[in-house]
Chains A and B, each alone.
Chain A
């Protein structure tokens, strides 16, 4: 009796616990409900973009990753622009002219100022080029090594001279962002990279490390003004979280989502999946100085053993496309280059090449979307054709260090799988860097004929003739030397709100949001 009285009069511990838990959940839910993002907000003037990685720096020469350059380019502008279809277009330079095989003159846009009031003129261009040529941290210094000097002919004209005949200067200048000399000299490269000042349609506002970067509209922009008041980038390293942010209205645009999450975006009402063909090409390189692979029959067997259609369809998935072009730009197209998939012919050739030691297949592990899957598939196809390969996965930095180390020839034996995307719209970038002996970074496949073809193409001033020369060079490397096997072009996937428009997705992964707009609900 006494027990029951006590039970009624005092709080039961079980009930007490449930009450405390309920109160906690309700209080938390109340706080959170008041802060949940509202998807049905009126037309917005702020764009929120989510991407996997934070830039290393907002100084373009320190970070050439396209997702970083996409942020830089809202604030800073290069001398020469790049259009949505990856062609050179006037920007801070209104026109350019090759006045001799080694000289270009660029005419600058008049009346343009940096957002701190400094004038954008020939002195600023010369300063920027010299800085980017010489700075130790400059990732473009190697590309600008061909440039001998730059000088101001007048406040609106700059002359750039190359060390040897070259027609690539305008393309190189699409990588050359123009800095305000006084501000840059005052703060230095590292601080400039944390708070850049430029001539762009937006002005840098803030960078909260690990969290977000924000730019706001530049009211004094010289050209077509930006359409948004504010653009914010934030970072979501986990792709699933990135897509979840998009689904819940936490962001309006998710950059580079993995193929496995594409269906999740497509299935969600209010979201759109953007599939953009990429000019990043996956390829299989062959060391023609390797004891095994110097045998052209074995290289031919490898070519014929690999089913590129299957790789494009099953590994890349959405939008995957087979290519026979070393670098998919500038109109070079050789879809019939190379050898067709023929496993029985491959098996026969491989048998004839015996005996040979197992061929090493190196690749940078976890470096590219579905890259590991592609390599496994290639190894399986080669084994099916009786070609014995040994897989050599490597850490990315170590892979490139080994691939680029050489004496007379490259030190990485056997085969190597990786991808390449052009930094600027000119076929010379990859051809010179990969295949020109003496100056090339790769020394796995070269001969006197290739050297001559490359030198002639770089110096050729007629764009039509240059294109034809690169086409011939491509066919020679792919079909005759059989040392470089283009496999497939990758696809860039983006998730975005279906209310968002005006975003330009370039094939190189650069995303231009300066004129993005929100449709009215």
Chain B
């Protein structure tokens, strides 16, 4: 019974998060400027500006518009873009694939590079290679995404002519944006995996394996790596949100038509309905993912599932 209550509370809290995010997105996108004047130009007659404001409902009080916006959302109506004149959800859908493709490729690169560097650093702990990797990871964590992107363009596009400087097309167009997006997470994975591996390599069962004469490579790759990678998996899960939000910058630099660049265009054009729709879709995806993970943990982990019943039995 208490488990059911917990689930209900968890779902209610997720819904509240969505409502709060909608309210925040609504307020921020509505106080940032007047979209009508910007779309009609400075010399448009005030009567025309007023007519469009009325048509879009901008002449109603902010609170009424917010409530109306929430009601629309409850009906799964995400509104229309003022800039593009089409439904927001179709716009987001048309751009989502590009962003997902970029984020997944970046994730893959981050896991490969981060794992390799973390493994090497742990095996060579304290040595010059370890230090070099540590410094590299520190640079990766500190360097702003836009700077990394521009440097990669200058080196690999302008100077070496290996990759295109931007746009979309074949797989080559994806490499530099994905690499840019992956740098931060690669560095995080490398550092975490190194620390985790070093800790695991001092565990008694590893010492026992060594005493049994097991091959050190096998110890590192099979026994230690598996245990040490658990925090990395958690990190990757937690950082997916950060990865997707960084696509705004990366899509801007590399002129990719994804949801991030759509959001930026919408903000610059004061297309508040589109901004809201993108934020809301993003929030729903993240909240739903978190909720699903929570529920999955509860279902899979007997300790979590039994925490309340354990107390009850006491």
A binds B: yes
**Which A positions have Cβ atoms within 8 angstroms of B?**
2, 6, 10-14, 17, 20-21, 24, 28-29, 31-37, 53-54, 56-57, 64, 136-139, 141-143, 145, 190, 193-194, 208-211, 234-238, 240-242, 244-245, 247-248, 250, 395-398, 400-401, 403-404, 433, 441
A236 cross-chain contacts in B, Cβ below 8 A: 166, 255
Distance in Å: Cβ of B18 to nearest Cβ of chain A = 26
Determine the residue in chain B with the shortest Cβ distance to A237.
B252
Q: Is the CB of A397 within 8 A of B33?
A: yes
Determine the residue in chain A with the shortest Cβ distance to B264.
A237
Q: Is the CB of A12 within 8 A of B163?
A: no
Known: A397-B37, A433-B43. Contact between A136 and B48, CB under 8 A?
A: yes
Known: A6-B215, A398-B33. Contact between A31 and B172, CB under 8 A?
A: yes
**Which B positions have Cβ atoms within 8 angstroms of A?**
32-35, 37-46, 48, 51-52, 55, 83-86, 91, 94-95, 112-113, 116, 119-120, 123-124, 129, 150, 153-154, 157-158, 161-173, 175, 213, 215-218, 220-221, 252-255, 257-258, 261-262, 264-265, 269-270
Q: What are 5 sample pairs from A and B whose C-beta atoms fall under 8 A apart?
A: A13-B217, A13-B221, A136-B51, A237-B255, A245-B166
Within 8 Å by CB of A244, from B86, B154, B171, lies: B154
Q: Is the CB of A248 within 8 A of B48?
A: no
Distance in Å: Cβ of A135 to nearest Cβ of chain B = 10
A234 cross-chain contacts in B, Cβ below 8 A: 167, 255
Q: Is the CB of A238 within 8 A of B253?
A: yes
B40 cross-chain contacts in A, Cβ below 8 A: 137, 139
Q: Is the CB of A238 within 8 A of B44?
A: no
Give the CA-CA distance A242 to B86 in the complex, in Å: 28
Determine the residue in chain B with the shortest Cβ distance to A400.
B42
Within 8 Å by CB of B150, from A29, A240, A397, A400, lies: A240
Q: Is the CB of B85 within 8 A of A57?
A: yes
Distance in Å: Cβ of B160 to nearest Cβ of chain A = 10
Give the CA-CA distance A364 to B44 in the complex, in Å: 18
Distance in Å: Cβ of A130 to nearest Cβ of chain B = 16
Q: Is the CB of A244 within 8 A of B158?
A: yes
Give the CA-CA distance A39 to B252 in the complex, in Å: 25
Known: A6-B215, A241-B255, A248-B158. Contact between A441 and B42, CB under 8 A?
A: yes
Q: Is the CB of A209 within 8 A of B94?
A: yes
B220 cross-chain contacts in A, Cβ below 8 A: 13
Interface centre among A32, A56, A193, A210 (most CB of B within 10 A): A210
Distance in Å: Cβ of A491 to nearest Cβ of chain B = 22
Give the CA-CA distance A255 to B162 in the complex, in Å: 25
Distance in Å: Cβ of A87 to nearest Cβ of chain B = 22
B165 cross-chain contacts in A, Cβ below 8 A: 241, 244-245, 247-248, 250
Interface centre among A2, A209, A403 (most CB of B within 10 A): A209
Known: A56-B83, A247-B165. Contact between A139 and B32, CB under 8 A?
A: no
B113 cross-chain contacts in A, Cβ below 8 A: 21
Q: Is the CB of B164 within 8 A of A35?
A: yes
Q: Is the CB of B34 within 8 A of A401?
A: yes
Q: Is the CB of A32 within 8 A of B257?
A: no
Determine the residue in chain B with the shortest Cβ distance to A240.
B150
Give the CA-CA distance A215 to B35 in the complex, in Å: 29
Q: Is the CB of A210 within 8 A of B124?
A: no
Interface centre among A21, A33, A138, A250 (most CB of B within 10 A): A250
List the 3 closest A-B pairs by CB distance, nearest first. A210-B257, A32-B172, A397-B33
Distance in Å: Cβ of B28 to nearest Cβ of chain A = 13
Give the CA-CA distance A20 to B115 in the complex, in Å: 11
A143 cross-chain contacts in B, Cβ below 8 A: 43
Determine the residue in chain B with the shortest Cβ distance to A20.
B116
Q: Is the CB of A54 within 8 A of B265?
A: yes
Q: Is the CB of A13 within 8 A of B153?
A: no
Distance in Å: Cβ of B262 to nearest Cβ of chain A = 6
A54 cross-chain contacts in B, Cβ below 8 A: 265
Interface centre among A32, A237, A441 (most CB of B within 10 A): A32
B32 cross-chain contacts in A, Cβ below 8 A: 395
Q: Is the CB of B215 within 8 A of A10?
A: yes
Distance in Å: Cβ of B135 to nearest Cβ of chain A = 18
Q: Is the CB of A400 within 8 A of B37?
A: yes
Q: Is the CB of B37 within 8 A of A190?
A: no
Known: A13-B217, A398-B34. Contact between A32 and B158, CB under 8 A?
A: no
A33 cross-chain contacts in B, Cβ below 8 A: 162
A31 cross-chain contacts in B, Cβ below 8 A: 170-172, 175
A238 cross-chain contacts in B, Cβ below 8 A: 252-253, 255
A396 cross-chain contacts in B, Cβ below 8 A: 33, 38
Known: A208-B257, A237-B261, A245-B165. Contact between A64 and B38, CB under 8 A?
A: no
Give the CA-CA distance A29 to B253 in the complex, in Å: 21
A208 cross-chain contacts in B, Cβ below 8 A: 257
Not counting A13-B217, A241-B165, A244-B165, a sample of 8 additional A-B residue pairs whose C-beta atoms are within 8 angstroms of each other reads A32-B175, A35-B169, A57-B85, A137-B39, A142-B44, A245-B255, A248-B157, A398-B33
Within 8 Å by CB of A20, from B84, B112, B253, lies: B112
Give the CA-CA distance A504 to B179 in the complex, in Å: 39
